[in-house]
Chain A
Amino acid sequence: MDARSSVAPPRTGKTLHRFANPGQFLRTSGKVLPWLFWVGALLTVAGVIWGLFFAPDDWQQGDTVRIMYVHVPFAWLASAGYFSLAACCFVSLVWRHPLADLAAAEIGPVGAGFTAICLATGSLWGKPTWGTWWVWDARLTSVLVLFLLYLGHIALVRAFDDPTRGYRAGAILALVGVINLPIIKFSVDWWNTLHQPASIGLMGAPTIASSMLWPLLFSAFGFTLLFIAITIARTRAAVMERRIRSLLMARASSPGGEEIPL
């Protein structure tokens, strides 16, 4: 018997709960995951090489503009990752979706890592461009708050002996922290910041040259697919680890149950 067949049978009914079934999740994600990972890796490599070696220098920033091809995707994913974390927490709180708890707990460390890289690459761009590693600018500060929210969620989820209580507490923090996302997005419009306003928006044409836009889009799409693939893979691992824990507990509590050395 393998990991997939050892989980509970699929529950029929509402769509959301059908996909909540761990066995269904393992089967579906097992098929999708290699595609997500390898397409993401290829796009990332293409975007990174394009941005590093073939995209033109900026007339104002010079060659430091190349940092944009990695900094901007990480900045987008820091916010998008937190939104997906909050969405999982919402689903967990409202529908008690068992996979949503696990997914939220696994998005947290990945999102925190991506936010840390966003801050670090921003500093590496700021030093030669602004002459300083850090300023208490509204955009930079709100992204730092986002990083702290990720860390807070990770800490809360792991702070309780009963995982369910940790998931609940983490979910409440994550939902309260959503207020920070519009602050990050509009901080460059609401306040007079050193950070430049957005060059790419959903509502209008981008204000950067297409020779810079395409490598940025390749890089952003590639890193996004990698983010999704890593999160799904971590959630798969979490599902299997939970199954292991429940099997060991069942074995330990059964009369005459022997301990399984692992």
Chain B
Amino acid sequence: MTHLPYIVAAYVLAVGMPVVLSVEVLFRVRSARRRLQAIDTRRDRG
């Protein structure tokens, strides 16, 4: 492979983007779920 740095950079970007977006949305969903449960727990107590 004579253009290895270009190829590796392209693959790192292409694979990295879905990975970053997936991890971000995973934390976002978990956080939203936790906050909803906290509200529901307080509402049930009240």
Residue in B10, B28, B29 whose beta carbon sits within 8 Å of that of A124 in the complex = B10
Known contacts A2-B36, A64-B7; A44/B18 CB under 8 A: yes
One digit per residue, 1 when the CB lies within 8 angstroms of any chain A CB and 0 when it does not, for chain B 11-46 equals: 101110110011001101100110111111011100
Interface flags for A124-157 (1: CB within 8 Å of B; 0: not) read: 1101100000000000000000000000000000
Given A6-B36, A117-B13, are A127 and B6 neighbors across the interface (CB < 8 Å)?
yes
Q: How many residues of A contact B (CB 8 A)?
A: 44
Q: How many residues of B contact A (CB 8 A)?
A: 31
Q: A189 near B: Cβ within 8 Å?
A: no
Instruction: Tell me what chain A mostly uses at the interface: helix, strand, loop, or mixed.
Output: helix
* A244 in contact with B29 given A1-B44, A124-B6 (CB within 8 Å): no
Most chain-A Cβ atoms within 10 A of its Cβ — which of B10, B13, B35, B40? B10
A17-25, A89-97, A179-187, A226-234 - interface stretch? A226-234
- Closest A-B pairs by Cβ, 9 of them: A70-B14, A240-B32, A121-B10, A237-B28, A233-B25, A67-B10, A124-B10, A3-B36, A1-B40
Contacts from B to A (Cβ < 8 Å): 1-4, 6-7, 9-11, 13-15, 17-18, 21-22, 25-26, 28-29, 32-33, 35-40, 42-44
